[in-house]
Amino acid sequence: MNKITVLLVDDHRMMMEAWAIVLGQHKQFKVIGQATVPDEALKMVESERPEIVLTDINMSPIDGFTLTEKILELSPESKVIGVSMHNIPLYAKKMLRMGGRGYVTKNSSKDELISAILEVHAGNIFICKEIKDILANEQLDENHDMMRIYSLTEKELEIIACVKKGLSSREIAELKEVTLKTVEVHRYNILKKLGLPNTAALVSYIQSKGL
């Protein structure tokens, strides 16, 4: 059985050697090189054409994102998996945009690292559970926000439009030809529905959600 060839890239030699030990114990993998700097990694990619490149994204002078692009220019058939100490979904998304096929964190287990390599080698995308959980929670928060927005009445949305323009409650009352108390009640209900403490938070919320 042909083994999956893997190149390891990390400027922390101890971490890279730990990866090498883990993969070396697995009969499906063959670690064909270890590089501590991007230039060294690119030379190995060009000469060895590894099937999988496991690279840290936090390196200098070239970070793992840029390195991924350069690796794929030299060896389009190689598949790159980013590894990071950061559990930031934006980094995982950026890795995929750069052509990477996977993203794991340094909190990922040995089994998850092995799964990542096998999945990516098979032609799939792999994102570690830690990042997936964060993305799921973000989606839940976004859905919760949308439910809050949908609960607003047409009158309350009109008040929000006025607040966005910087109008005071008294100015809104005059514009809408209603009492000041009516405007204040609407504003109170808006804050309550959106779970916001004050008008400053409402203005910030309006801007962030594009209301």
Pick the range with the lowest mean pLDDT from 69-73, 78-82, 100-104, 175-179. 175-179
For tokens 């799964």, what's the residue? 115
pLDDT band at 142; cut points 50, 70, 90: low
Mean pLDDT of 18-32: 92
pLDDT band at 80; cut points 50, 70, 90: very high
Number of neighbours of residue 202 by Cβ within 10 angstroms? 20
Name the pTM for this structure: 0.66
Pick the range with the lowest mean pLDDT from 52-61, 100-109, 146-155. 146-155
User: Structural domain tally of the chain?
Assistant: 2
pLDDT band at 141; cut points 50, 70, 90: low
- Residue 160: give the domain boundaries: 143-209
Q: Specify whether 121 is located in the same domain as 165.
A: no
DSSP for residue 53:
E
Number of neighbours of residue 147 by Cβ within 10 angstroms? 10
Q: Which of the listed residues 114, 133, 152 is the one where a domain comes to its end?
A: 133
Cis peptide before 61 (omega within 30 of 0): yes
